Structures are given as C-alpha cells and as structure tokens.
Amino acid sequence: MPISDHIRNKLSQIPHRPGVYLHKDRFGTVIYVGKARDLRKRVSQYFHPSRRMGWDLKFNALVEAIHDLDWHVVKSEPESLLLESKLIKEFQPRFNIDLKDDKRFLMLKVNLNDPIPRFTLTRLRKDDGCIYFGPFAHSGSVRRALTLMRRKFHLRGCRPLTPGEADYKHCLYGNLKHCTAPCIGNVSREQYLAQVRAGIEFLQGQTDELRSELEKEMQKAATDLDFEKAAQLRDALEDLKRTTQKTEKFERIPYTLPVAVNPEADLRELSRVLELPEPPARIEGFDISNISGTFVVASMVSFWHARPDRSHYRRFRMKSVVQQDDFASMAETIRRRYSRLLREVRSGGLDPSDAESGEGSVPELQRAIDDTAAAHRGRPARSDTDATVVPWSPAPPAKARLPDLILIDGGRGQLNAARAELAQLGLESIPILGLAKENEEIYLPHRDEPLRLGLDSPAVKLLQRVRDEAHRFANTYNAQLRLKKISESILDEFPSIGEGRKQALLRRFGSVQRLRTATIDQIADVPGFGGVLASELKRFLEARQG
C-alpha cells in the first residue's frame, strides 16, 4: 500500500531525537505507542517496502491501520520509557501488549517526620508528607544505588518503624557497621537526620565526591589487574549515573497531541452538515451499558471544541429501571442529567421564582439560559442594540452551562426517549441527534430518513470519537461494578459466614481487597469472629488470591 502524502509529510518533519511516537487510525484513536532513540529512523521503518514483505501479520495489520501519527521529543532514553509507559496506560492501544497493566516504575521516598527516617522503595506517590525521588526507569540500578547510598551515609535499612534494642540484636546493618544504630542511642536523632539529609542531597545529584572515589578505586583495581572488582565499580558508577540523572517525571502529562488531524475543521464541518448557526463548543455524548439487564449504567462524556473535557464526565447507575430497557434507561439518564444541570445554571444568576414557575416562564428562562451559555463561551450575552461578538476562548468554562449539541448512542428509539425528557424540562431547543453503530447513520429529530455521510466524513469521525469515548466510559463503570460484586461474592463461598458476619467484615474493612491485607488479630476483632474463625478466613482468602 503506497504511503499517503499526509504520512510522507509527517515523516519529513520528525527529528533525529529520542522520544515517543503514537500511531492513530482514521478515527483518531491511538492504536500503538512506541519509543525510540532516533524517532526519524524508527518511525520511517514502519513504511519501508521491505518490512511489508515479511510474514508478520500483526505488523502488516498495524501499518494498514495507520492513518496519522504524532511524536513527543524527550531529553533521554529513560525519559522516553517513562513517557511510553504513561501513554500506554492512558490510551490502552490495541496493538500494544506490554505496559498495559497498572504496575508503575519504582520511586524512593523518605519521611523526615518518622522517629528514625529510612529510605524505602515504592511504586505509588501519595500526599503523605514524604519526600519522593523518581520514578526511575531502571529498577535494578535504583536498588543497587540505594544499597550504595546506605553504606556511604551509614543509613538504616531495617523494616520496623521505630526499631529498638531487640531489633538491633538481629540487625545485619548494625552488626556490619553499615548503620550508625540510632535505635540504641549510638547517635542522636539530630545527628542521624544530618546523615539522612546528606542522602537526600545525594539523590538530588550531589554525587561528585562519591563518583570521584569510585573512579579512583576502579582505576586502581584495573592497574592491579583485579578486573572483576573494576567491573563491579564500573557498574556501580553506571547505576549511580542512572539513579541521579535528571529526568522529567511525567506524573501528569499535558496531552498536547491532537485527537484528530484538525479538530476545529471537523467541528465546522459538523456544524455545516447539521445546519447549526455556529460550531457546537460543548458536545455531550450518552451511552447505556448493561449485561443481560444487570448493572445497568450510563455514561456522559463532554467534548469542548472537539477535544475531551474529562473534568465534566459523569456516570449514572439506574434507579428506576430494573430490567434491560435501553429507551427507559436513556430517558432516566437525560432526566437526571439536565434536571441537575438546570438547577446549577439557575443558581448561577437566575431568579429562583422564575425558575420554578410553571406558566409563562419558559421563554424568559430559555433566554436567560442562552445568555448564560453565551457568556460562558466567552461571547457577550445577546443584546438588541449590541451585536459585537467576542472570540471564544479554548479553555473550558468553570461554571455550569448547557451543551450546544447532545449525541445519543442509538437510533430513532433512543433519540425519541431523550427528546421527550428534554421537552419536559423546556430544553427542546438544544440540538440533539442519534448515531447508530451499524452504518454510522445520523438520526435527526425532524428528518424522516437518517443522514448517511460516509465513514470518511470529518463530521462522522468527530461524532464517532464522542460516541466511542462514551462507550468506553460506560463499559469501564460497568466492569468496576461487576468486579466489586464478584470480589464480595467470594465471602459467600466461606462455609462459616452468614450475611451478618459478611456485612460486619465489609463495614470494618470496606472491601475484600483490604480484608486480604488485614492481620488475623484485626479480623478477630470484628464482632462475630474469634481467633480460630479469623485464622480459617485468612487461610481461605490466601488460597484464593488468584
């Protein structure tokens, strides 16, 4: 298959720098994330004719699906690994296999408020007052560097939070004189804190003195023909370099890569197709998810200027629908969403008496809502004398506002159910449409036949992105509820537990996951349990870890 002009133009712009690249399909969905020392060389390899002649079916399927690509330049190869992992976990591309789990890179942390602070390894950064270093791309290097640092600054490596004399008797670090043993009073807490702060400065990059010592020892070992020791010192220097090298953390990566080649162009095309007065700044999309009528949930995603605005996503668990009924579920979701949103909009500056009035208030209320929405878009409210238009701001508004377009995942039935609820709320003037999956047909309220624009239409691609995001968000919520139910049902298999004991355990620990980490004494402390029953439950849960 020949390379498109768009891809060829992108390849010519990629620099010879380390970084991360993203391949996307024709819907703008990220399908593969990779890293490279040289982005230009690595990405170009995907489109070499010789590579396409191979028998790797997965590779050929990936290349055939690539419609667009993006890249992100970083300073070093470790940074590219950190960023690659972050993006794979965020987008879950279907052609990636590794790094999709929730496992994170190692970090070092220390809490100076502990009685005797110690450096520990962790994979999760918390707001707990600790000082964190990392994440580190090479776990082996950071472990060895931590051992080196403990020996250099005589820091403890034992596990107890507050070690005492009983712990010191069996302490390998103390007996080998690697630790100054503050637990038995060899040094004061202030003296030990000075050692810890020296370790902090070491991790912050102040390693010149230690690096110089290691280099001298390595050269001496090589001169003495002790090549094994010289190799160990060489590896220690490399571990030291990797651990103290400055890297960007990528804890929260601002997603600057576009979700489409030109989102604003797609938005203008959608406005033209639907004959809207202006491109819809705020699009809200809805989807229903259930499995055989169980765990019926709905999702609402929000797109601001054709880009996901995740802070405004919402999810719903059905209250009035007890069986599989997509029409009733959609009606309940629309009713709950816009009843609440109307209250939020009204409380932002409307007269409550007008808002609650049932007669003669709809035109005035709608005008006020339109004015509020226009103000939130960065444009002035309507005026009979002032026709000035202020350009919109791309930043999402903080205050509540009604959408400019509502997208329903489904055909005529779901659309009519949603329209009926909007009419009850006096919001029938908001543009709404349904998108049917089979042929990507667009159903409009006052049109008998659906629109069929074709899969290459920019307007259809934008609607697909909204619909697919709503579908993903709904399925994620459904899966969370099912997983929680399955987890809790494990307790039903324990022969010596009834509903009362089960509820007592869940009230105390919150979930089975937390119960697994509890000690036998903690379980025995729950009403209805004793030491014997707690031991049996602990063994039961350990046998069902998988």
**Pair (342, 382) in one structural domain:** yes
Task: Quickly state the pLDDT bin for 111 (edges 50, 70, 90).
Answer: confident
The sheet with strand 131-136 has its strands ordered as 120-122, 106-110, 131-136
Last residue of a domain, one of 91, 126, 144: 91
The predicted pLDDT at position 375 comes to 40
Query: How far apart, in Å, are the Cα atoms of 153 and each of 177, 198, 200, 201, 300?
Result: 11, 7, 10, 11, 54
**Pair (119, 213) in one structural domain:** yes
Q: What does the alpha-carbon distance between residue 498 and residue 283 come to, in Å, rounded to a whole number?
A: 48
The predicted pLDDT at position 141 comes to 74
Who wins on pLDDT, 2 or 231? Answer: 231
Residue 225 lies in a domain: yes
| pLDDT one-digit tens code per residue, 514-538 | 888 889 999 888 888 888 888 888 8
The predicted pLDDT at position 54 comes to 63
The predicted pLDDT at position 291 comes to 64
**Pair (158, 199) in one structural domain:** yes
The predicted pLDDT at position 539 comes to 81
Who wins on pLDDT, 298 or 135? Answer: 298
Who wins on pLDDT, 57 or 51? Answer: 57
Last residue of a domain, one of 63, 91, 119: 91
The predicted pLDDT at position 234 comes to 77
**Pair (371, 468) in one structural domain:** yes
Report the CATH number that the domain containing residue 336 is assigned in CATH. Answer: 3.30.420.340
| pLDDT one-digit tens code per residue, 377-435 | 444 333 333 333 333 446 777 778 899 999 999 999 999 999 999 999 999 999 999 99
For the record, the structure tokens of 486 come out as: 């399955």
The predicted pLDDT at position 484 comes to 62
The predicted pLDDT at position 346 comes to 82
**Pair (111, 30) in one structural domain:** no
| pLDDT one-digit tens code per residue, 330-388 | 999 999 999 999 988 887 643 333 333 333 333 444 444 454 444 434 443 333 333 33
Report the CATH number that the domain containing residue 537 is assigned in CATH. Answer: 1.10.150.20
Contacts of 423 (CB under 8 A, 6+ apart): none
| Percent of the chain with pLDDT strictly greater than 70 | 79
The backbone torsions φ and ψ at residue 123, rounded to the nearest 5 degrees and listed phi first, read: -115, 0
The predicted pLDDT at position 254 comes to 42
Residue 445 lies in a domain: yes
Residue 481 lies in a domain: no
**Pair (472, 498) in one structural domain:** no
**Per mean pLDDT, which of 198-207, 420-429, 434-443 is the most reliable?**
420-429
DSSP string, 418-478: HHHHHHHTT-TTS-EEEEETTTTEEE-TT-SSPB---TT-HHHHHHHHHHHHHHHHHHHHH
Last residue of a domain, one of 91, 126, 157: 91
Average pLDDT on 71-96 reads 83
Report the CATH number that the domain containing residue 43 is assigned in CATH. Answer: 3.40.1440.10
Residue 413 lies in a domain: yes
**Pair (207, 268) in one structural domain:** no
Q: What does the alpha-carbon distance between residue 546 and residue 543 come to, in Å, rounded to a whole number?
A: 8
Contacts of 294 (CB under 8 A, 6+ apart): 482
**Pair (9, 87) in one structural domain:** yes
Q: Which domain holds residue 29?
A: 5-91
From the number of C-beta atoms within 10 Å of its C-beta (0-12, 13-18, 19+), residue 222 rates as middle
Residue 405 lies in a domain: yes
Residue 320 lies in a domain: yes
The backbone torsions φ and ψ at residue 205, rounded to the nearest 5 degrees and listed phi first, read: 115, 0
What integer best gives the mean pLDDT of the chain? 78
Average pLDDT on 146-158 reads 81
**Pair (272, 403) in one structural domain:** yes
The predicted pLDDT at position 350 comes to 39
The predicted pLDDT at position 348 comes to 66
**CA diameter of the chain:** 99
Residue 322 lies in a domain: yes
Who wins on pLDDT, 345 or 226? Answer: 345
The predicted pLDDT at position 402 comes to 92
Residue 295 lies in a domain: yes
Q: Which of 62-66, 422-426, 508-512 has the lowest mean pLDDT?
A: 508-512
* pLDDT score of 299 more than 50: yes
Who wins on pLDDT, 502 or 434? Answer: 434
The predicted pLDDT at position 331 comes to 94
**Pair (232, 347) in one structural domain:** no
Residue 24 three-state SS = strand
DSSP string, 275-322: T-SS--SEEEEEEEEEETTEEEEEEEEEEETTEE-GGG-EEEE-SS--
**Pair (407, 440) in one structural domain:** yes
The predicted pLDDT at position 79 comes to 79
For the record, the structure tokens of 533 come out as: 């029953």
| pLDDT one-digit tens code per residue, 72-83 | 888 877 778 888
Task: Quickly state the pLDDT bin for 271 (edges 50, 70, 90).
Answer: very high
**Pair (410, 527) in one structural domain:** no
Q: Which of 145-159, 231-245, 337-351, 509-523 has the lowest mean pLDDT?
A: 231-245
| Percent of the chain with pLDDT strictly greater than 90 | 20
DSSP element (H, E) containing 120: strand 120-122
The structural domain count of the chain equals: 4
* pLDDT score of 501 more than 50: yes
